[in-house]
Amino acid sequence: MIHYKTEKEIDIIKQSSLIVGKTLAEVAKLIQPGVMCKVLDSIAEEFIRDNGAIPSFKGYNGFPATLCISVNDIIVHGIPNNYELQQGDIVAVDCGAKKNGYHADYAYTFEVAPVTEEIHNLCIRTKQSLYLGIEHAREGNRVGDISHAIQSYVESFGYSVVRELIGHGVGKNLHEKPDIPNYGHKNNGPKLKKGMVFCIEPMINLGVRNIRIDRDGWTTRTADGKPSAHYEHMVAIRENGSEVLSTYEYIEEVLKNKNN
């Protein structure tokens, strides 16, 4: 069942979302060669709790950490560990926070520069596919319109779309209906209606779309060991289109300052 949110609920979700955006910016400050993934996780948990929220992921179905940190061929659900980031890596950081009873959840893929042009393009195009999906997130359209926009764009570059992992509704629960696949056909799936709040999150592989899961039951990798990129935004359906509730503003301000 889809839970349609009131204006008040959407405002509360935006407050949680702001914390996630600022947490990811704190992580962005530390992304560099030599930093351990578990250090990023520790900083994120402290920041979320200092802002009166709780990490959405920690303890969720037994997940042991605040962040999902997925490096290179890890698509999603990477468990932060002693791995030290290296030049040429890409690292997808997925973060969730719950405040006043509502979750926020989104992700950004960082480059540990310099990366190859091939991998840089994968990141740029995966992010672009997210925004193309968002363009179709409006009342009267269907979920398949979002899915098709993402799939058709990335496949035009020879990339592949992960099938087993998809976007989802979000609110009082971290994962709600509707499901938002990153592949599909126009005019298919649930109709988009005012009050829906969901995450669109393309997970796009440089090579094959097939996955494999590590023995830890979480870490999900590309079957061929090639890199994968992951970006995620939260969207609310409004009467006149959609509103992106999440923000990359703080992340990209940090990245801009680091590059200057």
In a domain, 1, yes or no: no
| CA neighbours closer than 13 Å in the CB half-sphere of residue 55 | 22
Residue 205 lies in a domain: yes
Q: What mean pLDDT, rounded, does the chain reach?
A: 97
The mean pLDDT value for 173-183 works out to 98
Across-strand partners of 48? none
**Which residues face 67 on adjacent strands?**
95
> What is the mean pLDDT of the segment spanning 142-163?
98
Res 260: pLDDT:
80
Q: How confident is the model at residue 214 (pLDDT cuts 50, 70, 90)?
A: very high
Of the pLDDT bands very low, low, confident and very high (cuts 50, 70, 90), residue 97 is very high
Whichever domain contains 116, its CATH number is 3.90.230.10
CB 137 within 8 A of CB 178: no
Question: How many independent structural domains does the chain possess?
Answer: 1
pLDDT digit string (tens) for 13-53? Answer: 999 999 999 999 999 999 999 999 999 999 999 999 999 99
Assigned domain for 2 exists: no
195 in a structural domain: yes
Give a yes or no: residue 69 inside a domain. yes
Q: Which domain holds residue 173?
A: 7-259
Tell me the pLDDT band of 2, cut-offs 50, 70 and 90: very high
Half-sphere exposure of 127 (CA within 13 A, CB side): 14
